[in-house]
Each structure stands twice: as structure tokens, then as C-alpha cells.
């Protein structure tokens, strides 16, 4: 894809620029690359938990006169945050973070169409994947893969299963799904 090639070019240029800065011993690195927050959400999470600084947002690393903030989303057990999803399912939801940990913000109920067309099919795939992994056997694995929207034929499913189970290092998996 064009976007991927462009990204590779940008990364390559950034690496070359960093190398130039690092090997230029005539001035300190921080004069070319001033220290600043990375914009990684994990830095805000750690700071909030370790230093007990309550927050529900983190600064984005974008230029501008004022900081731009984004809500913090993490993957946690649902535990009632989204009404239609079982409590023991991991969901990605907005959270508040402080010295006591990560706390879900209640999302409430999803619109019916979102639940039926986007969430319910994923929940079913999750259940089938769990069943396949817990029970083992080729049938459960086949039944899980045949309903994937990317699947074009039963031959494709058989070929994929065979290819994965024959890969070096998958001998134990091959026994489980035979």
C-alpha cells in the first residue's frame, strides 16, 4: 500500500536524522531533540498510578499552542460497564486512573443495531473460539473458522487448518486439534 511505503520512508528519514544527531559530538543531543513527553498513553497510566494523580485523559504529541488531550481507553473486564456484554469479557472502554488503579467509566447500553450487527457476531465468534480451544478436535476448529466472513470455502478452512497444524513448533496444537 502507498501508506505503508510512505511510513517506511518517514521512519528511514527519522532514523537517519537521529543517527546524525547522535554522532554529532559538537553539541548535546537535547539541543536538537528537546526532552518532552512521548505521547504514549502508558506513560500517563504509570504516572497516574504511581504518583496517585487522578486522570482520565492523556496529552497527544501534536504541535500547537495548547495541549490536545485524548481520553484513556484500556482493555479491562467488562464488569457491568457495557450492559449487553457479559461481565467476564474483556472490553476496550474509557477509564479513570489514580493511585488505586484503573476504574471503568460506565458506558451503559449500546444502540440495538450496534449490538446486533457489530457486537453480537463478535461475541459468538469469541464463544466458538473458546469452545474450539477448550474442547480441541478438528470439528470445533473447523466450525469456528467456517463462519468467518473471510472464509470462501470448506477447502480453504481445511487448507488453513492443515497449514497451521503442520508448522514446526505446533506439534502439541496438532494433537489437540486432531
pLDDT, tens digit, for every residue of 26-37? Answer: 999 999 988 876
- Tell me the CA distances in angstroms from 44 to 61, 66, 129, one per residue in order: 12, 18, 34
Q: Which of 55, 32, 145, 63 is nearest to 102 (CA)?
A: 55
Q: Which of 119, 136, 146 is nearest to 172 (CA)?
A: 136
Q: How confident is the model at residue 144 (pLDDT cuts 50, 70, 90)?
A: confident
Q: How confident is the model at residue 1 (pLDDT cuts 50, 70, 90)?
A: low
- Tell me the CA distances in angstroms from 142 to 10, 145, 173, one per residue in order: 42, 5, 14
Task: Check residue 123 and give its pLDDT.
Answer: 93
User: Parallel, antiparallel, or unpaired: how do β-strands 73-77 and 90-98 relate?
Assistant: antiparallel
Q: Where are the domains of the chain?
A: 1-35, 36-109, 112-176
Are 85 and 72 within 8 A, CB to CB? no
Task: Check residue 103 and give its pLDDT.
Answer: 97
Higher pLDDT, 139 or 4: 139
Q: How confident is the model at residue 40 (pLDDT cuts 50, 70, 90)?
A: confident
Handedness of CA 153, 154, 156, 160 (dihedral sign): positive
Task: Check residue 149 and give its pLDDT.
Answer: 84
Q: Is the pTM of this model over 0.85?
A: no
pLDDT, tens digit, for every residue of 55-76? Answer: 999 988 888 888 899 999 999 9
C-alpha cell read off for 129: 473460539
Amino acid at each position: 500500500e502507498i501508506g505503508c511505503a510512505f511510513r517506511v520512508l518517514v521512519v528511514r528519514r527519522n532514523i537517519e536524522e537521529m543517527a546524525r544527531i547522535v554522532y554529532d559530538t559538537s553539541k548535546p543531543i537535547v539541543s536538537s531533540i528537546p526532552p518532552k513527553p512521548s505521547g504514549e498513553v502508558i506513560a500517563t497510566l504509570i504516572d497516574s498510578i504511581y504518583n496517585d494523580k487522578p486522570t482520565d485523559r492523556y496529552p497527544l504529541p501534536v504541535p500547537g499552542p495548547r495541549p490536545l488531550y485524548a481520553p484513556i481507553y484500556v482493555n479491562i473486564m467488562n464488569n457491568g460497564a457495557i450492559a449487553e456484554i457479559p461481565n467476564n469479557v474483556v472490553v476496550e472502554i474509557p477509564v479513570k486512573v489514580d493511585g488505586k488503579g484503573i476504574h471503568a467509566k460506565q458506558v451503559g447500553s449500546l444502540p440495538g443495531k450496534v449490538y446486533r450487527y457489530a457486537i453480537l457476531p463478535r461475541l459468538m465468534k469469541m464463544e466458538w473460539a473458546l469452545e474450539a480451544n477448550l474442547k480441541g478436535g478438528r470439528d470445533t476448529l473447523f466450525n469456528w473458522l467456517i463462519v468467518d466472513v473471510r472464509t470462501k470455502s470448506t477447502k480453504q478452512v481445511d487448507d488453513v487448518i492443515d497449514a497451521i497444524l503442520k508448522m514446526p513448533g505446533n506439534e502439541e496444537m496438532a494433537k489437540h486439534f486432531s
